[in-house]
Amino acid sequence: MKTVNDFSFANKKALIRVDFNVPLNDAFQITDDTRMRAAIPTIQKILNDGGSCILMSHLGRPKEGPAEKYSLKHLVQHLSNLLGGVEVAFATDCVGTAAEEATAKLGPGQVLLLENLRFHKQEEKGDETFAGALAKLGDIYVNDAFGTAHRAHASTAVIAKFFPGNKCFGFVLSGELASVDKVLHGAEKPFTAIMGGAKVSDKIVILEQLIKKADNIIIGGGMAFTFVKALGGNIGKSLFEEDRIPNALNILETAKQLGVNIYIPLDAVCADNFSNDANRQTCKTSAIPDGWMGLDIGPETEALYAKVIGESKTILWNGPMGVFEMENFAHGTQAAAHAIVEATSKGAYSLIGGGDSVAAINKYHLGEKVSYVSTGGGALLEYIEAGTLPGVEAVNS
Ligand code: AMP
């Protein structure tokens, strides 16, 4: 795996695929610049080498060509601020004359941001001619967009073939890969995977992969009830996917064969409707009364899960333990987050990845107290499922 550290960028133009898909408000102000900040070390390394940076990204989901709302020009000033005042030039198109003229002018130490890649339909189609037009702009291709590395788009994967020997990962992408590889291939035992979230169907493949690696699998969230039901429990009107019963049984059977401990919630905080203000009671998960639904793990489960997490040396967390967006059903998710923090403080390696568990860890301001918070939800899950990603393959091959 080659990273920007393997190259000197002196007098070179680095064409960097970043993930600047940041949220903007109605006044086009950036409301969360995490993704931009993440890319700064890569940009800085190249500038310090005496190279120049041509940055390309998508922003939002433009449907029909250019749209003001999705223009990357709204990011120019903030990017300049993040770079300590380095001037950032802007090209009104990511290919063609505008882009070529702007890159021709670019000297060492300078930065250029290209307009939204997705203003061209060819980007998402992985069009080779379009990838070639982008490739013309730089000498070395750097992929630093982990969040889109699971897409075989022109700028994330196809483009790499135009840079034989001159392609590498930036610090965001290499950091993500190092973290997930540590968990999947170098995990100190016991390795506990905590899986939560809404649906089993979204997590089947990842569970099937993790069962081969983990010592313990902790299950929470709405997906747990399909397991409870598969084992003959009464789950009331809790979230349930009948067609996934065979998958759940298969996972339980495989775990038994492989000697993996699977933990399914013993008790749940139940509600009589899907609302923070609903009536509540704690029930055994196998005996939820009709008309009630489990929306969080109960205290007995919390304690058991905290114990298992506390004894772990490697922890992967994907998905909340309950409907953590509602305060009355957030306790289990918060308890799991604190147990992970505690285990981390005692030397465990913890990776938090995939959508809502990242939202949860950030909500409790615990991001600094775990080992790694992944920036790419879908990409991380696909990497665990498939063992690689198109954007990673393209740079490695
Ligand atoms: P995912 O994107 O699959 O990680 O799912 C996250 C969503 O699952 C969150 O919005 C949670 O509110 C929801 N969720 C977690 N536990 C439950 C539950 N017991 N019943 C319904 N939804 C849940």
In a domain, 397, yes or no: no
CA–centroid distance, residue 204 to ligand 1 (Å): 15
* Residues 162 and 183 grouped into a single domain: no
Please write the tens of the pLDDT for every residue from 127-148. 999 999 999 999 999 999 999 9
CA–centroid distance, residue 185 to ligand 1 (Å): 28
Number of domains in the chain: 2
* Residues 299 and 214 grouped into a single domain: yes
Of the residues 50, 109, 132, 355, which is catalytic? Answer: 355
Which domain-ending residue is among 108, 143, 169?
169
Instruction: Specify the higher pLDDT residue, 202 or 250.
Output: 250
Let me know if 6 is exposed, middle or buried by CB neighbors in 10 A (0-12, 13-18, 19+). exposed
In the predicted model, what is the mean pLDDT of the chain?
96
Around 84, how many Cα atoms within 13 Å sit in the side-chain half-sphere? 7
* Residues 307 and 326 grouped into a single domain: yes
* Residues 19 and 158 grouped into a single domain: yes
pLDDT > 80? residue 117:
yes
Neighbours of 267 (CB within 10 A): 21
pLDDT > 90? residue 305:
yes
pLDDT > 80? residue 355:
no
pLDDT > 80? residue 190:
yes
CATH number of residue 278's parent domain: 3.40.50.1260
35 labelled catalytic: yes
pLDDT > 80? residue 43:
yes
Please write the tens of the pLDDT for every residue from 64-107. 899 999 999 999 999 999 999 999 999 999 999 999 999 999 99
In a domain, 393, yes or no: no
* Residues 236 and 159 grouped into a single domain: no
Query: The pTM is what?
Result: 0.91
Q: What does the block give as tokens for 57?
A: 């990204």
* Residues 245 and 361 grouped into a single domain: yes
In a domain, 394, yes or no: no
Which of 237, 269, 317, 356 for a ligand 1 pocket mutation test, highest count of atoms within 8 Å of Cβ?
A: 356
